[in-house]
Chain A
Amino acid sequence: MSYYDPKDLRKFGNITEWSEELGTKFFDYYGKVFEEGALSAREKSLIALAVAHTEQCPYCIDAYTKDGLQRGVTKEEMMEAVHVGAAIKSGATLVHGVMMMNKVNKLDG
């Protein structure tokens, strides 16, 4: 038995049942964020896909892979987006190396 069940994604909307006001506000906000704006809905979908990976959220990966296919996004585009996420994630790790270097230099320089 896994903690994650793909079928649970369909029940996402149910969170509103236990807190109607906050749930509704969240979904209104969420819907608004993904509308066409200064960024196209297609661009937003690719950003969401990249973030879904850095957050390692299986539900979001499922949802935004499908969303991309529906928008005609190609698999090459999807993989490039995932690499953008991965690059930022690894960059964020590595840039902390400077902190480590500072500390070494201070303590043992």
Chain B
Amino acid sequence: MGKLKTQSLHKRDSELAQSNRQLEILSNGIFQDGELPTFAKKIKETNQFPLRPKKLEILQINVGYMCNQVCEHCHVDAGPDRKEIMTWETMEQCLEVIRNTGAHTLDLTGGAPEMNPNFRRFVEEASKAGIKDFIVRSNLTIIRANKKYYDLPDFFKKHNVHVVSSMPHWTRGKTDKQRGEGVFDMSIKALQELNERGYGMPDSDLRLDLVYNPSGAFLPGDQASMEKDFKKALMEDFGIHFHNLFAITNLPIARFLDYLIASENYEDYMYQLVDAYNPAAVKNVMCTNTISVSWDGYLFDCDFNQMLELPVASKVKHISDYNEDLLNDRNIVISQHCFGCTAGAGSSCQGAVAE
């Protein structure tokens, strides 16, 4: 496994490991003195405040913050030193919900979800629930990290899992800078193995999509042209196929916020996000069709709010009291990090959102 870059903010006892400190930063300074409008003010301009959910389509479950990587910009602040892992008991509560939900997509994320000791048992059970699209967000290197994970491509195939994986660039230098030394080569090897099982091949039903997020303090370019460039480069250099590329904007929270502040890019980045604000993206932001479940079973509007410890504004707070109708009748909790979801073509875990 490649050399790890850093430790998590939590392990380093950084003040930014505290979600309330992050929220303070996002509300102070340029947003407090009115130099930039707040997100609430911005969406009021188009009468989209308060932000409300539409029909629930995606149930996103975070099975733990432990990860084999320590990517520089991780919004989860994940790493090998994080011990928050979903228990089997909570997984059983999730399975109960998965069997009864109206959502058509189940999206497992982490950390590296595969590092949860009950991951396979959970996937086996969840795949029986007949959900149309079953996503696992796999970071690719996990497949090559240890012998016990080598058979993951076969396991994914057996359960018809839709694999979504991060890839910051088609060149080694840019990828390793963000995700750690050696990550590029391991990711390429993992992609080739997935291709060998049929994943990502043209006309194959075994879905393999890549997620691109910028390696620094700038916004992602046009998703369709990035996809074209990635496809061309990965095919020419390594013979790799994949289906779609999702271009995702880095939200100013956790390690990315830490990086923005340390590199003196914070204000400029917030300006970029606010300047690129697209009111058309607001109606499709991820929280309008997703519920995010944390490792300990609590419910959030999205994975970002989960990391900021902003729980859903609903009577239903925990997966054990799950009630879809009650939950859908809520206002979404917002702050200035939300500008990351509405910049340009918009951004969600499924990529751009503006039609």
- Give A residues with C-beta under 8 Å from B: 10, 40-42, 66, 69-72, 74
Contact = CB atoms under 8 A, between A and B. Distances in A.
B224 to A, nearest CB: 10
Contacts of A69: 214, 216, 218
Interface string B161-195: 00000000111011000000000000000000000
A71 B225 contact: yes
A70 B275 contact: no
B220 interface: yes
Contacts of B171: 74
A interface SS class: helix
B174 A74 contact: yes
Contacts of B271: 10
Contacts, number: 31
Given A10-B271, A10-B275, A71 B174 contact: no
B279 interface: no
B226 interface: yes
A41 B220 contact: no
Contact of B218 (A10, A42, A66, A74): A66
Given A10-B271, A10-B275, A72 B218 contact: no
A69 B216 CA distance: 9
A42 B225 contact: yes
Contacts of B230: 72
Contacts of B169: 72, 74
Contacts of A40: 225
Residue among A40, A41, A66, A70 with the highest chain B CB neighbour number at 10 A: A70
A7 to B, nearest CB: 9
Interface string B213-235: 01010111110011001100000
Contact of A70 (B173, B174, B220): B220
Residue among A10, A42, A69 with the highest chain B CB neighbour number at 10 A: A69
B218 A70 contact: yes
A71 B230 CA distance: 11
